[in-house]
Structure 1
Amino acid sequence: MKKYKIKIICFLIISLSLAMPYIVVYSIDYYDFSHIKTIETTNLKKIIENHPIVQAIYNDYYSNDHNENSPQYVVKNKELYSQSAQKRITELQNIFSREIEKLMQYKVIDQDILETSQDRYPITFGTIYDQKDPYLDQLLRMDKDYKNISFSCEKDTEKIDSIMVVDANGKNYTEKQCQNMAWHMIEYLELDDIEDWSYNQYGYESQILKIRVYCQNDQEPESMQLSIGVQLLGTPETIINIK
């Protein structure tokens, strides 16, 4: 029995000796990885102080808020709503009008897309969904000349972070034009001072922010679709939670 115990102890000592280098390497790698992640998160938090839209994008991703039962308003029927609702509609009209005009100024979208000859864009029609992130849906035409434009507005910064145009007679934008619109979107979001933006087939990506800004132009059977927006890179396992 005593010899048996000695053999077991010797076996454990030998096994531990053989495994020790791997344990040490793993411990060092884990420390390095954790240290790098800490640095990344710290740097990202510093950036957020000057770029609140980044925090807002992350908050939207991790939010559990739902949009069920959110009020929606038909702009042309504004006078039919209560006084408090009319006040809210006016607030949302002003926000969307101001930000869409900025999108034109930054050349994210142009007057042709909006079918206007003016630099101003008052919100005189459409449906506004007063949800977690307010949403404006404008139907310009039906049937064979169908055209619809929609905008999503981030509620805290009041920046528009998503644009969708569906147009039966829409323009087919070149890759270079889409790249330019994506970059102008970065400028509009005031993220153009981030130094590591790089462009690929999916849009502009920043590894510092873990964010992609895209512009896609897709030909559908009966329409051309143009979508411009922002999304996080990676999966829930790889995205840094900065909340």
Structure 2
Amino acid sequence: MREERQNRLIKKRNIVLIGSMGTGKSHVGRMLARELGWQFIDTDRFLERERGMSLAELGATLGADALRQAEAAVIERVRRYHQVIIAVGGNFVLEEDMFERLREYGVVVLLYAKTFRIIERVARKQGKRPTIDYDNLAGCVADLNRAWYGWHERADWSVNTTYRTPTRLAYTIGRYLHQAPFRFLTRRGQERHKTRRKGYSYGKKSSRSDQWRRRARHERRGSGGRSGGDL
């Protein structure tokens, strides 16, 4: 019975976090990768290291169209990696072709948040977002958020990050991956349900799971139960 179930599992290589800027993809992805023992890649940081310039400098030098193409080239490379959490830059809404390419090898999780929360988060990084007009921050964020609405039903799963801490979000996504019908492949093509470390589980009896729940409850109490601005 177990072997029959494993044969029905969808085989994937990695986990992909998509969504607008300011939804917490980098914070959550880094934490989730650490807990799973996987590698973490932020496509924006990857591009910056590769080109030797900040994203803002790249935007000013290349222009929006060329920047989009450069980001797409990075995504095309990293989407084939095994056992990696990929946080896709949220400067542009994904195009249909790129979404399908990401989904070919990855479990795609959309992170989203209410517009007011994204404005709070993006405002902390004045001048660092090349596609944002900071003189019209609210309008730009609202437009970008609306543009992402159509992807909520396309992703394998969608998570609201408005009031959740990175700890709680990483735990929630980990639980989903543990229960979802996916099986991840190692670099050698071996099948492995690699959503936990050795001795690590998201199940009810997991001590690590209990630690995450306690930490998340503590963070909620410390913020009056309405957290989410620290992403």
Shorter-chain TM-score range: under 0.3
- Structure in which a larger fraction of residues adopt helix: 2
- Greater per-residue strand proportion: 1
TM-score by length of 2: 0.27
Q: Which has the higher contact order (CA 8 A, sep 6+)?
A: 2
Q: TM-score, normalised by structure 1?
A: 0.26
